[in-house]
């Protein structure tokens, strides 16, 4: 262990060299060491590397190795990164820069790694300069790995309820549904619908979903005849349940008006889905079927009222003849 500690200190010390070549060589070695030797990660962090690595994110020739090393270090311990002044701003810079797709993908993965800690979600969620480039990254022209890492980061951010309205305001909903409708790459639609389900859990999402026909898309995905994967269907049920809970009667009416096929799809998940999906599908069915029962009750009441009116009219008519 002592040899590893001395090696880490030496490599970190070389990051302060006046020679850019020496810095680049040291970065390459730190990247490999932090990737292949988990024991060395804490030693590298404790040697004062993170502030130096943060500064290297502003240099195009050192960005990729620096961000990759930070990602590797975050796997073992995230607190040293979050406690480093300027780290989030540096990550934002990389995400908004003209860096290589690989560098931007690693930056998105680093944000996701930090968001794994619940306490950091409101902090990162308060940074539009990080969330906006992540949203921009989820388009069909981006590499699959970049999309998936961005979606994972957005999903983790949306686990904090107060981040959801912010994400809607930043324009997350339209590109999400573009991916759902147009992207056929393995895993992308599954990950996109997972984010859709989380973002649906705020009042602001209702109008945003309606503007892109999102409710109709989700209903189609639930339908057993559309060929969606089980994970996509379960995510769609979760999204619809969140929309109903946030949007109330109007959303319930929208779903109910789309016909019986959606009820069959939800019933299938309630019977055959994962344990969590079965509970959510059951809750959604209860709301939708309950609404149908209320409509039938109101219809029956109107019929009974009409019958009473007719009988009342006959009685009045009869009594008029019987009056002396």
Average pLDDT per consecutive 10 residues, the chain (324 residues; last block may be shorter): 93 96 97 96 96 97 97 95 97 96 97 98 98 96 95 98 98 97 91 98 96 96 92 97 94 89 94 96 92 46 45 36 25
The per-residue pLDDT for 20 is 94
**What contacts 16, CB < 8 A, 6 or more positions away?**
52
pTM of the model: 0.88
The per-residue pLDDT for 1 is 81
pLDDT digits (tens, 9 = 90+) for 143-200: 999 999 999 999 999 999 999 999 999 999 999 999 999 988 889 999 999 999 999 9
- Domain 179-292 class, CATH top level: mainly alpha
The per-residue pLDDT for 88 is 98
**What contacts 104, CB < 8 A, 6 or more positions away?**
94, 95, 97, 137, 146
pLDDT digits (tens, 9 = 90+) for 227-249: 899 999 999 999 999 999 999 89
The per-residue pLDDT for 189 is 96
Domain locations in the chain as residue ranges:
179-292
The per-residue pLDDT for 284 is 95
Give buried/exposed letters for 19-57 (b at 16+ CB in 10 A, else e). Answer: eeeebbebbbbbbebbeeeeebbebbbebebbebbbebb
């Amino acid at each position: 262990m002592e040899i590893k500690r001395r090696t880490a200190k030496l490599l970190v010390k070389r990051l302060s060299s006046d020679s850019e070549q020496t810095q680049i060589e040291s970065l390459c070695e730190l990247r490999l060491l932090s990737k292949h030797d988990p024991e060395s990660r804490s030693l590298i962090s404790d040697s004062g590397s993170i502030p130096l690595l943060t500064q290297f994110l502003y240099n195009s020739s050192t960005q990729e190795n620096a961000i990759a090393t930070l990602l590797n270090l975050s796997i073992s311990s995230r607190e040293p990164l979050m406690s480093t002044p300027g780290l989030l701003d540096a990550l934002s810079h990389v995400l908004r820069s003209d860096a290589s797709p690989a560098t931007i993908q690693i930056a998105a993965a680093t944000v996701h790694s930090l968001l794994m800690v619940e306490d950091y979600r409101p902090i990162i969620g308060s940074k539009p300069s990080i969330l906006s480039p992540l949203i921009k990254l989820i388009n069909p022209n981006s590499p699959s790995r970049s999309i998936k890492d961005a979606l994972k980061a957005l999903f983790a951010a949306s686990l904090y309820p107060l981040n959801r309205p912010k994400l809607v305001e930043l324009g997350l909903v339209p590109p999400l549904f573009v991916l759902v409708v147009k992207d056929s790459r393995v895993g992308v639609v599954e990950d996109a619908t997972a984010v859709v389900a989380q973002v649906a859990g705020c009042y602001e999402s209702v109008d945003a979903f309606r503007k892109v026909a999102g409710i109709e898309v989700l209903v189609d995905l639930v339908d057993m005849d559309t060929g969606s994967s089980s994970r996509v269907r379960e995510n769609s049920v979760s999204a619809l349940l969140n929309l109903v809970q946030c949007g109330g009667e109007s959303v319930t009416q929208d779903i109910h008006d789309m016909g019986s096929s959606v009820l069959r799809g939800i019933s299938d998940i309630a019977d055959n889905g994962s344990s969590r999906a079965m509970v959510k599908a059951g809750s959604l069915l209860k709301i939708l079927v309950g609404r149908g029962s209320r409509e039938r009750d109101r219809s029956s009441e109107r019929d009974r009222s009409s019958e009473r009116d007719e009988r009342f009219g006959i009685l009045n008519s009869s009594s008029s003849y019987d009056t002396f």
